[in-house]
Amino acid sequence: MESRRRPRPPVQHRGRPGVIEDLSRESLYVELRMMRTGGDDRAFLVVEGHTDSAVFDDHIDARHCVSVPAYGKERAISAIEEVERNGDHGIFAILDKDWVGLLELEPKLPDSLVAYTDAYDLDACIFYSKRTVIRQAASFCSDMFRIGDAGSEEHHLIDACIELALPVGALRFISERDGAGLSLRDFPLNEVVSGDYPYEIDKRKLVEISAKRAGKSIDSESTLKKLNSALARLPNNSRYCSGHDLFKALAIILKRKWGGRVGAQQLEQSARAAMGHERLSALFLYERIRLIAERSGYRVWQNAA
């Protein structure tokens, strides 16, 4: 569907390039309003950060849409709340699902303005995308890894990564649910991985390190019991894994099992760069944001039907 809005060339923002002058919750909405009153009639697609923009921008129809990184989910949420309150047109968002639908940590945002990622976050979506993991293994490992060899099937690799990332995600969920304040952001996964392939997580050590990093004194036995109980009954293991933890797990497995010389950050960057149209359009969020924008008379994607 062609946009009813008149396409404009990209707006050049004043100030120093790449420098965010105001990171308050309210400032993003003000920025969006300034862009609109400055003459930009395109759709504004709010995303959480610049790495999200880097994934989407190659697929966005720049004549009709521009991504706007919020530099934080709270700022994105605040902006969308203001958009809804004031009835602004042509401003939408793609946000990480995080614990939406599992915990009530965030305000309910209108379905007419927001599409959430299929998995925990965008990097998790990229990780689970078809052929991503197997191609990275083949690219970054020595000739010890060959596609098609026994044990090198993609689903085996993904399952092994989930097994390492899941305890971190489950403990993160418990911490958020119970208000424990454990420190699991950028968790040093390598410090708690033990055993032989497919490896396992030392869950007691995981609990202890997460508490120590947060400067918390907790009942480790009680927390460990909660973690084991949660892991025994989670309905969808992949839903609880963040993209960062999954790529850390992959880096560990590739290094220990197949002699790979690559870090999680490099894996993430290469996977984002390889996120072509076929993989992106296979995500539910792609079709969801297309429909959201189309119903308001706007266009987001280059190759949308």
Q: Is 107 exposed, middle or buried (0-12, 13-18, 19+ CB in 10 A)?
A: exposed
Q: Are 96 and 228 within one domain? A: no
Residue type at position 208: E
Residue 7: what pLDDT? Answer: 44
Query: To 10 degrees, what angle do helices 243-258 and 132-140 make?
Result: 40
Phi, psi of 10 (to 5 degrees): -55, 140
Q: Are 131 and 210 within one domain? A: yes
Q: Are 267 and 287 within one domain? A: no
- In a domain? residue 234: yes
- In a domain? residue 199: yes
- In a domain? residue 240: yes
Say how many domains are in the chain. 2
Q: Are 218 and 160 within one domain? A: yes
- In a domain? residue 68: yes
Q: What is the pTM of this model?
A: 0.91
Q: Are 255 and 141 within one domain? A: yes
Residue 5: what pLDDT? Answer: 45
- In a domain? residue 21: no
Taking alpha carbons only, the member of 180, 178, 187, 197 closest to residue 241 is 187
- In a domain? residue 106: yes
Taking alpha carbons only, the member of 1, 53, 59 closest to residue 277 is 59
| Ordered per-residue pLDDT tens for the chain, 305 residues | 444 444 444 444 433 334 445 567 789 999 999 999 999 999 999 999 999 999 999 999 999 999 999 999 999 999 999 999 999 999 999 999 999 999 999 999 999 999 999 999 999 999 999 999 999 999 999 778 888 787 789 999 999 999 999 999 999 999 999 999 999 999 999 999 999 999 999 999 999 999 999 999 999 999 999 999 999 999 899 999 999 999 999 999 999 999 999 999 999 999 999 999 999 999 999 999 999 999 999 999 998 76
- In a domain? residue 65: yes
Q: Are 264 and 184 within one domain? A: yes
Q: Are 271 and 142 within one domain? A: yes
Contact (Cβ atoms closer than 8 angstroms) between residue 65 and residue 94: no
Q: Are 129 and 270 within one domain? A: yes
Q: Are 93 and 156 within one domain? A: no
Buried b (16+ CB within 10 A) or exposed e, 272-289: beebeeebbeebebbebb
Q: Are 161 and 43 within one domain? A: no
CATH number (domain holding residue 83): 3.40.50
Q: Are 165 and 219 within one domain? A: yes
Q: Give the domain extent around 158.
A: 125-278
Count other C-beta atoms under 10 Å from residue 105's C-beta: 10
DSSP string, the chain: ---SSPP-PPPPPSSSTT--S--STTHHHHHHHHHHHTT--SEEEEESSHHHHHHHTTTB-TTTEEEEE-SSHHHHHHHHHHHHHHT-SSEEEEE--TTTTT---SPPPPTTTEEE-SSSSHHHHHHHSTTHHHHHHHHHS-TT--TTSTT--HHHHHHHHHHHHHHHHHHHHHHHHHT-----TT--GGGGEESSTT-EE-HHHHHHHHHHHHT----HHHHHHHHHHHHHH-S-GGGG--HHHHHHHHHHHHHHHH-----HHHHHHHHHHT--HHHHHTSHHHHHHHHHHHHTT---BSS--
Contact (Cβ atoms closer than 8 angstroms) between residue 2 and residue 24: no
- In a domain? residue 7: no
Residue 10: what pLDDT? Answer: 40
- For residue 99, what are the CA distances in angstroms to 49, 115, 125? 18, 14, 15
Q: Are 50 and 171 within one domain? A: no
